[in-house]
Amino acid sequence: MKDALALVNKWLGDLIELLKMLVVLGVIIGILFDDYFGVIAGIGKVVGQFGDGGLAGLLALIIIALWYQKK
C-alpha cells in the first residue's frame, strides 16, 4: 500500500513539474508573441483576485508561498 501511494505521489510530482514548465513556456511565448495563449492575462487575473481579497487574500498568498517553500 505504501508503494502504491509513493508511486501516485511521484506521478503527481512529475505532473506538477510538467505543468510548471508549461506555464513558464506560456509566459515566455506570451512575452515574445504578444500573449497569444492568454497565460500572462490569466496570471494577472489570479493576482488581481488575491489583491481584491484584501487581508484575507494577502494571508492566503502568504500561506501558499510558505507551503510551496516547504517542498
pLDDT in tens, 15-65: 988 998 998 898 898 888 888 788 888 888 888 887 788 888 888 888 888
Predicted local confidence at residue 44, as pLDDT: 86
Residue 33 CB partners (closer than 8 Å, separation 6+): none
Cα separation of 46 and 19, whole Å?
16
Q: State the total domains in the chain.
A: 1
pLDDT of residue 18: 94
- The boundaries of the domain holding residue 14 are 2-70
Place 4 in a pLDDT band, splitting at 50, 70 and 90: confident
pLDDT computed for residue 15 by the predictor: 92
pTM above 0.85, yes or no: no
Cα–Cα dist 45/23, whole Å: 15
